[in-house]
Amino acid sequence: MGLFSKDIATMDDLFVHTLRDVYYAEKKIVKSLPEMIDEATDPQLKQAFSSHLKETENHVARLEEVFRMHGVDAKAVDCPAIDGIIEEAEDVTGEVDDKKVLDAALIAAAQAVEHYEITRYGTLVAWAKQLGRNDCASILERTLKEEKAADEKLNALAESYVNRRAA
């Protein structure tokens, strides 16, 4: 299905398409985080990635719940945006030798991922409400809160020591 093809005729179609886009993204993040946990040196950063991996597995399950509630198949559609963010992150981290600099690069990459998720879930919550699906909106909102909290945790880590030590 093309992004701007006629397959998306209504707000409901657009909502379902975007759910499937973020479903693809969440599944991709579940696959990518273990590598980031391995690469991170700082124990607090490793811990932050590990706990967000558990949350991310839950995000996948919540999306499946929203698909079920909305009466559509839990299907993923390609999301070139998340593929690009992760590909760029792998390129950059592959170029870094210094462990402290690598931690800073991993944080920056992870924050790009979180910001992508935040924009998608923000949109999905608004559209769910617009479509009269407050039940779906409240589930999506729980995930949105966790994405924002993950981003803030990474901010705090970056500001408190990781970037300073890399300087």
Among 20, 147, 157, 158, binds Fe ion (CB under 5 A): 147
What string marks each residue from 70 to 109 as x (binds Fe ion by CB under 5 A) or -?
Answer: ----------------------------------------
Pick from 162, 131, 139, 157: nearest CA to 13: 131
Among 21, 42, 103, 117, binds Fe ion (CB under 5 A): 117
Q: What is the DSSP letter of 165?
A: H
Burial label for 81, CB within 10 Å (0-12, 13-18, 19+), is middle
**21 near Fe ion (CB under 5 A):** no
In the bound state with Fe ion, the residue whose beta carbon lies nearer, of 7 and 51, is 51
In the bound state with Fe ion, the residue whose beta carbon lies nearer, of 42 and 151, is 151
What would the DSSP string read from start to end of 29-62? HHHHHHHHHHH--SHHHHHHHHHHHHHHHHHHHH
**39 near Fe ion (CB under 5 A):** no
In the bound state with Fe ion, the residue whose beta carbon lies nearer, of 57 and 166, is 57
Query: Contact region for Fe ion (CB under 5 A) — 25-33, 79-87, 102-110, 153-161?
Result: 25-33
Tokens 């991310």 label which residue? 56
Query: Contact region for Fe ion (CB under 5 A) — 3-11, 58-66, 85-93, 98-106?
Result: 58-66
**59 near Fe ion (CB under 5 A):** yes
Question: CA triplet 57, 61, 145: central angle to 5 degrees?
Answer: 70
Query: Contact region for Fe ion (CB under 5 A) — 18-26, 66-74, 84-92, 102-110?
Result: 18-26
Q: Which parts of the chain fold into alpha helices (H)? A: 11-39, 43-70, 80-94, 99-130, 134-157, 163-166
- Residues in the site for Fe ion, rule: CB under 5 A? 26, 56, 59, 117, 147
